[in-house]
Amino acid sequence: MNNLTESDLREAMLHGAFYCSYEPNGSDSKSPTYGQAMTPKVLDVSIQGTLIQIYGDYIDSYLWID
């Protein structure tokens, strides 16, 4: 996305350039990570033939849906 706008988000989603994440207890004020953005952040994607590697912060696992 070039800009954090609704129209740029829509274009990204229409072209498949997005990912979703879930932050358990993200709104629970009693959670030790409350108020901290702990959702996964993709930093780089490497593609070599049929091998795709994803690098980032706070990534424990991922599910690829084709």
pLDDT over 70 (residue 66): no
Residue 35's pLDDT is what?
73
Least confident range of 1-5, 7-11, 19-23: 19-23
**pLDDT tens track for 11-55:** 888 888 766 666 766 677 888 877 776 777 888 888 899 888 889
Instruction: Mention every residue, 6+ apart, whose C-beta is less than 8 A from residue 50.
Output: none
Enumerate residues 6+ apart whose C-beta is below 8 A from 43.
55, 56, 57
* Domain limits, the chain: 6-57
Q: What is the predicted pLDDT for the residue at 25?
A: 67
Q: What is the pTM of this model?
A: 0.46
Q: Give the pLDDT of residue 3.
A: 83
